[in-house]
Structure 1
Amino acid sequence: MTQTTSTAAAIAEEELASNLAANTNDDKARFPFAIVGHVDHGKSTLIGRLLHDTGSLPEGKLAELKAASDKRGGVLEWSFLLDAFQAERDQGITIDTTQIFFTTAKRRYVIIDAPGHKEFLKNAISGVAQAQAAFLVIDAAEGVREQSRRHALILHILGLRQVAVLINKIDLIDHDADRYAAVAAEIRHYLGQLGVTPLALVPISARNGDNIASRSEKTPWYDGPTVVDVLDNFVPAPAPVDQHLRLPVQDVFKFDHRRIVAGRIESGRLRVGDRLIFSPSGKQARIASLESWNAAPQIAAGAGQSIALTLDDELFIQRGDIAAHIEHQPHLAHQATVRLFWLDTAPLLAGDRLKLKVATSEYPVFVERIHAVIDVGNLAATQSDRIDQNAVAEVTLRSPALMALDKFDEFAKTGRGVLLRDGDIVGGAIVLHAGAVDQSRNLYSPTQSIGSADRASANGHRGAVLWLTGLSGSGKSTLAVSAEHRLFQRGRQVVVLDGDTLRQGLNSDLGFSPEARAENIRRTAEVAKLLAETGLIVFVSLISPWQADREKARRIVGENFAEIYVQADIETCKSRDPKGLYKKALQGEIKNFTGIDQPYEAPEEPDLTIDTTALTEEQALQQLLDLVDRLCALNGYESRRPADSYTI
């Protein structure tokens, strides 16, 4: 038995090695690098010249290029090699991310030409995300521009550390060494603030070919590498097969009697017999087989391969689940701190609702907190309540659904994602931290109810009842509704129970005698308690004139109950009279009206007194919201981190 197991393992390792070798020999194994920079700084021209000078142009392509340039009455435009869209040729800019293959004497490459114009940053990010290294192109005459800095920041955010700077159009400054040195010093300083040391700063003329494939005689003061030298010195990323297993589920197919799970292995390796855990559900099973179409069955597979597998148990697995080995699972969390690049024209605000797409998973999220917005120019972190287009920020996202995430510095493919709004991509994000949940509890067991701690973790706050009492016209309902609106904008789960609304439905059978008023409060307290136990922040707006009745409500609700006395003297309430009730009571049309012919017992020791005669509406609202924060906060949830402690 031992011999058989050992032999099977050896065969598996041999087959895995063979598969990985096969992957290495196809186009996917080409070294991918990106070329980024400000619009019109010469990225596409550089690529065209690079292809020409390395002998990588297809036969007849140069003649076609010359004909296209002559047709437009201009000089030879190397950029026309890549600008596939007519709009790009007419406007002289790159719109889409272009990929093209070429080869040097050392190895094969995939060039990713990322657009420089700020309106097309979404395409730039999608391109750079596939690269292992990058060239940042800067016009020697124009120098470092805002878009140059923004693209450098994108490289940093996406985790690229192999960066070289190409200072282009050196011919336009008469190959001036001093100007080159000034531009080089400026961009070196900026990259240094990001923690990035450029591998080289090469003076080039993409149009003329200076220092592209061979050293130019026009820059005798430069003794560094050429562009091709830099390329060939880039170091390929370690094979992800050596990392822990991450297999995002792409789809599940029912085929004859089998349920087949399909996906692409992003990192690690697996083999038949391995026990997998699927996150975030926590379901486990062993791999029964690796399925192949019209090919010999496999018993092992590794990173980069698209596979289909069956399990030894009929589990309900779905798209978006992430398969891993049990000892190395993703983080499970309702909360994640991310660094994002915002792309939408509409600003991102605290409380905004989005979808976070990571690999094949999509999670509903809302912006719980904006920690800092980063100034692209000087990298200073500032406090702000909004994130404008093309800005970088650090925010905390919260999801009512349990998320399976990795930190970006641990697993790049499952530690970064995009933000969606109404189906459109509006931002890119990398995960800095994922708040852990208690994995010992199985929230999905049909025999176990969802506890209050689980609801609080999902909502980002605890449930509570805030009982607003005071005379008619004191401002109870106004405050409750305003607080509800403000908290809802922040992504909180909140509801208002108003006395008038309750008496039109649940308590429509009750009058206004002392006994009926007591029953009105009892019923309201019971409903409020149920809602708070489901995780809601409940505002109750009732005159509730008797101290004994309010104490009974407190006993019914239990913990997380707060009595708020909305204070206003009777004369002020009469002058406000928002519903015209005082006028009717004074005319005898309403009997037993509190403040006229029925007394009101002010709270003896309220949790908060809000004097609406002395405070503005905004000041009164802020007092109420501050109490909500104290009462409903999770442990550490309301902690603040100053902007100057932010590190990028």
Structure 2
Amino acid sequence: MTTLNFPHAANDSVPQQARFPFAIVGHVDHGKSTLIGRLLHDTGSLPEGKLAELQAASDKRGGTLEWSFLLDAFQAERDQGITIDTTQIFFQTASRPYVIIDAPGHKEFLKNAVSGVAQAQAALLVIDAAEGVREQSRRHALILQLLGLRQVAVIVNKIDLIDFDAARFQHVADEITAFLGELGLSPKAVVPVSARHGDNIAARSAQTPWYSGETVVELLDGFEAAKPATEQPLRLPVQDVFKFDHRRLVVGRIESGRLKVGDRLTFAPTGKSARIASIESWNAAPQIAAVAGQSVAITLDDELFIERGHVAAHPERAPRLTHEATLRLFWLDAASLEPGDRIGLKIGTSDYGVSVEGIRAVIDVESLGRQVADRVPQNGIAEVTVRSRQPMAIDQVDEITRTGRAVLTRHGDIVGGAVILSRSAQAASDAIATEPRHLFSPDHHVTRAARAAANGHQGAVIWLTGLSGSGKSTLAMALERELFARGRQVYVLDGDTLRTGLNSDLGFGAEARAENIRRAAEMARLFADAGLVVITSLISPFAAERAKARAIVGANFHEVHVKADLATCEARDPKGLYAKARAGEIRNFTGIDSPYEAPENPDLAVDTALRSKDAALAELVSYVEKAISARTADLRQVVGKQ
């Protein structure tokens, strides 16, 4: 992206967040860059000497003065007469400062157009008076509607080429107004201009006495600024977590809302919560508060496992978690999008792997009709349902725009843009039929408290994680025997047992291993809800997967790190797996050619390299007994109600 700063002489230091962002879109060669160049000149926003430089560049090419040269930053653009990159231009009128987003009009560069328009609050759609509405004009109008822009105006350019013909202008105006109306968009104005000569840009033209509407500058100054992002619910996508001396800094850009020291934050999708201990600044005093648009580094009053892609919010206004979402998307890849395809859904710093569950409708660019289709072609617009195996923290686009828009990826490449539709918006649309899922959670007549009263203990999931050979299975079976002897309702979910039954359809790739953990967590949660103490014995090597397991199970989840160094585990090698891995017979074996991420802050760590089996078991039994104990007063209260 190219950024050009043309400050007004009265103010050359306006923060970007204070500028009103609007996009200029339209068919290639309809004069977008020329319009911008003339707009800068006529508002006195060009630096001294820039006009002479522009005239010299035009003379060198043997043509008349080309305002578009001011914006076309790449030589390829000047040679071909097209805009490739999205350009941002800073300037201001007498009323307020602006950011112009010049989006490329050529079909091959629609990817840049989508990314540029996504940042705008309003848009000018440029139409050539002589050529009229073209396919790309319609496609750009659809992009505006797709991305939720409602402040749109039309600039009918090159009015000089039709000799300022009012009838021809009206024909073009009627055509584009009707098309926008079918999209649910009502243009704020349709302005006849000659960008080359400056007609109706900053001053009304004597060449159009039949036009009594606003100039382009008046039109821009009349656009309403969006509700400040600072007044919306807090959304802080985590970009990274750094360890700095004794502190763990959670770093990210505040997309909406505000925060201050002492605020309680919840981190989606894990649900973990802590208060802000400080807002750090590099080589400066710590801040007390921060608002949307600022990049921050915060510390928390509790040691939580947080990673890139988590979203911090205030608990009372947290994003909705879901495994399924309906998107309205613009597809850019040469290969069609089909049901069953797996793509990436990037929202802020979050990157979700989703599968396409179904295509609800493909929208015809010409007729705007909704068509039943089994694929979405390149440059197609459609509404599709996607499903993620991991919970997604999402917002609907009409509530929080910044986190309601997404980028689609395939094999690391950007292949589309999308907005997330709310359930209420889907229900209100009569154009697309939704298939009811008819799923209802039953109300159990036996409560958890009643089960705890009957069993004498609460249900819980004791999640043993560690390298192969660390002693997980040995400790799990010994713990089961000891707890059973004490009258506890207990059962072990062993990784190998799950692999031979419930998860026998899964391989050992990254995606399959993640699904193995998810299924184990879901089964363990059901057992714990039934009042059992469930002991899982799973390597579960990745911290993110264990965090998701904790999110599935909830408050009854207890992470136990069965700790032993690799040398000790490899020396034990009870199943001979390390030897096979070293020989190349097993690929992606944890500890050898696949990493193990040890828990940073487990509920309990048992070091089997330093403790005997009996000592480790005693420590584990003591912890579990405290974790599952039901208070006597609670038991009496429940029994008394039976």
Query: What TM-score, normalized by structure 2, do the two folds share?
Result: 0.65
Quote the Cα distance in structure 2 between the aligned partners of 1:325 and 1:433: 21
| 1:229 equivalenced with 2:201 (yes/no) | no
Q: How many percent identity over aligned positions?
A: 70
Q: Partner residue of 1:447?
A: 461
Kindly name which structure, 1 or 2, has the bigger radius of gyration based on alpha carbons: 1
Task: Report the alpha carbon displacement of residue 319 of structure 1 after superposing the two structures with TM.
Answer: 0.5
Note the 1:380-395 alignment, pairs <5 A: 380-395=369-384
| Cα distance per residue 1:593-635 (max 9 Å; x no partner) | xxxxxxxxxxxxxxxxxxxxxxxxxxxxxxxxxxxxxxxxxxx
Q: Partner residue of 1:530?
A: 502
Note the 1:554-633 alignment, pairs <5 A: none
Q: Partner residue of 2:346?
A: 357
Task: Report the alpha carbon displacement of residue 532 of structure 1 after superposing the two structures with TM.
Answer: 7.9
SS in 1 for 2:316: coil
| 1:300 equivalenced with 2:289 (yes/no) | yes
Quote the Cα distance in structure 1 between the aligned partners of 2:257 and 2:16: 21
Note the 1:194-233 alignment, pairs <5 A: 194-233=183-222
Of 374, 398, 416, the residue aligned with 2:405 is: 416
| Cα distance per residue 1:149-174 (max 9 Å; x no partner) | 11011111111111110000111111
Task: Report the alpha carbon displacement of residue 102 of structure 1 after superposing the two structures with TM.
Answer: 1.4
| Cα distance per residue 1:504-529 (max 9 Å; x no partner) | xxxxxxxxxxxxxxxxxxxxxx9996
Task: Report the alpha carbon displacement of residue 311 of structure 1 after superposing the two structures with TM.
Answer: 0.7
Task: Report the alpha carbon displacement of residue 59 of structure 1 after superposing the two structures with TM.
Answer: 1.1
Quote the Cα distance in structure 1 between the aligned partners of 2:40 and 2:300: 48
Of 136, 156, 167, the residue aligned with 1:167 is: 156
Q: Partner residue of 2:7?
A: none
Q: Partner residue of 1:336?
A: 325
Kindly tell me: are residues 211 and 261 of structure 1, through their superposed partners in 2, closer, same or farther at Cα, counting changes over 3 Å? Answer: same
For 1:371, the aligned partner's letter is: R
| Cα distance per residue 1:408-427 (max 9 Å; x no partner) | 11111111110111110001
SS in 1 for 2:317: coil
Quote the Cα distance in structure 2 between the aligned partners of 1:236 and 1:401: 36
Q: Partner residue of 2:52?
A: 63
SS in 1 for 2:53: helix
Task: Report the alpha carbon displacement of residue 530 of structure 1 after superposing the two structures with TM.
Answer: 2.9
SS in 1 for 2:415: strand
CA contact (8 A) 1:45 1:77 kept: yes
Q: Partner residue of 2:37?
A: 48
CA contact (8 A) 2:103 2:117 kept: yes
| Cα distance per residue 1:23-73 (max 9 Å; x no partner) | x95133111111000000000000011111111111111111111111111
Kindly tell me: are residues 230 and 533 of structure 1, through their superposed partners in 2, closer, same or farther at Cα, counting changes over 3 Å? Answer: same
SS in 2 for 1:530: coil
SS in 2 for 1:237: coil
Over 4 Å off, 4+ runs: 434-438, 526-529, 531-535
Of 168, 176, 182, the residue aligned with 2:165 is: 176
Note the 1:258-337 alignment, pairs <5 A: 258-337=247-326
CA contact (8 A) 1:338 1:433 kept: no
Quote the Cα distance in structure 1 between the aligned partners of 2:308 and 2:78: 41
Task: Report the alpha carbon displacement of residue 534 of structure 1 after superposing the two structures with TM.
Answer: 8.3
CA contact (8 A) 1:334 1:437 kept: no
Quote the Cα distance in structure 2 between the aligned partners of 1:50 and 1:242: 32
For 1:116, the aligned partner's letter is: G
CA contact (8 A) 2:240 2:252 kept: yes
CA contact (8 A) 1:342 1:426 kept: yes
Q: Output the aligned Cα RMSD.
A: 2.4
| 1:252 equivalenced with 2:252 (yes/no) | no
Structure 2: gaps (5+ residues): 1-12, 424-436, 444-458, 464-497, 508-642
Quote the Cα distance in structure 1 between the aligned partners of 2:440 and 2:124: 41
Kindly tell me: are residues 425 and 533 of structure 1, through their superposed partners in 2, closer, same or farther at Cα, counting changes over 3 Å? Answer: closer
CA contact (8 A) 1:247 1:323 kept: yes
Quote the Cα distance in structure 1 between the aligned partners of 2:506 and 2:335: 33
Quote the Cα distance in structure 1 between the aligned partners of 2:356 and 2:350: 18
Task: Report the alpha carbon displacement of residue 269 of structure 1 after superposing the two structures with TM.
Answer: 1.2
CA contact (8 A) 1:333 1:437 kept: no
SS in 1 for 2:48: coil
Q: Structure 1 residues 286-295 or 372-381, which shifts more?
A: 286-295
| 1:346 equivalenced with 2:346 (yes/no) | no
SS in 1 for 2:57: helix
Q: Partner residue of 1:454?
A: none
For 2:250, the aligned partner's letter is: V
